Amino acid sequence: MREDHPVDLLLVSLDPVPTDLAVTRLRCVVEGLTHSRSWVIGPPGFVDELDADGRRTVGLTLSLVTALPPWRDEIDETVDRAHLEEVKLVIDEACRISAEVSASFTVYLAGVLVGQIDRGGRDSLLRIGLIGEWERILEADSGPS
């Protein structure tokens, strides 16, 4: 992998209007995740910002080495597997918060909607489309040559 390899952002955003309890829980989770492991690029970040139209975005972000073409073949399998584990950990924590405080989350990767979390559960787009497909590709890549 080259040093100038582009980075994508995973955003796990509270929807639609975050409660104070959900924001507090999310902030605590992000702080806990920071020191929970060694992260490939860096730990998740906490986001609480207003856009130009006054819409509030509260969530967490995670930087990932891009797997979008033409970069997919340049990602080291160890890095790709580590990123998958990081994403699963972040999503598991969002599911836990969702169940605890009845919050919903929308998940974006590189600005593209990749799934939703509601009442602690992942939708099929997240389970099958993002995580399942990522696991399938890693299995195919490590299969017999």
Backbone angles phi, psi at 38, to 5 degrees: -90, 125
* Pairwise CA distance, residues 92 & 113, whole Å: 18
The pLDDT value recorded for residue 77 is: 84
Residue 112: its pLDDT value, please? 95
Task: Centre a 10 Å sphere on the Cβ of residue 9 and count the other Cβ atoms it contains.
Answer: 15
Q: What 3-state class would DSSP assign to 59?
A: strand
- Least confident segment among 40-49, 84-93, 115-124, 132-141: 132-141
User: pLDDT by residue (tens digit) across 84-128?
Assistant: 999 999 999 999 999 999 999 999 999 999 999 999 999 999 999
The string of pLDDT tens digits covering residues 54-77 is: 999 999 999 999 765 545 666 778
- pLDDT-above-70 percentage for the chain: 89
18 in the Ramachandran plot: left (φ > 0), alpha (ψ -120 to 50) or beta? beta
Half-sphere exposure of 8 (CA within 13 A, CB side): 17
pTM, 2 dp: 0.89
